[in-house]
Chain A
Amino acid sequence: MANTACFIIVSRNDIPIYEAEVGSAIKKEEAAQQHQFILHAALDIVEDLAWTTSAMFLKAVDKFNDLVVSVYVTAGHTRFMLLHDSRNEDGIKSFFQEVQELYIKILLNPLYLPGSRITSSHFDTKVRALARKYL
Chain B
Amino acid sequence: METAFKTAFPFIVFSVAILLAFQGVLMIVAYTVLAERKVLGWIQGRIGPNRVGPWGVLQPFADLLKFILKEDLVPDKSTKFVYFLAPMVALTAALLPIVVYPFGPPIKDPISWLVPYLPVIPLGSEANIVVWIAEQAKNLPLTIARIDIGVLFVLAVTSVGVYGIALAGWSSNNKYSLMGGLRSSAQMISYELAMGASVLGVVMLAGTLDLNGIINAQANSPWYMRWFIIPQFIGFIVFLISAFAETNRVPFDLPEAETELVAGFHTEYSALKFALFFMAEYVNMFTVSVMCVVLFLGGWYVPGLSHIFEVGSVPYALVSHAAFLLKIFFFLFLYIWIRGTLPRFRFDQLMSFGWKFLLPVAIGNVIVTTIVVFLMNR
The answer to whether A and B belong to the same complex is no
- Enumerate chain A interface residues (CB-CB to B < 8 A): none
- Enumerate chain B interface residues (CB-CB to A < 8 A): none
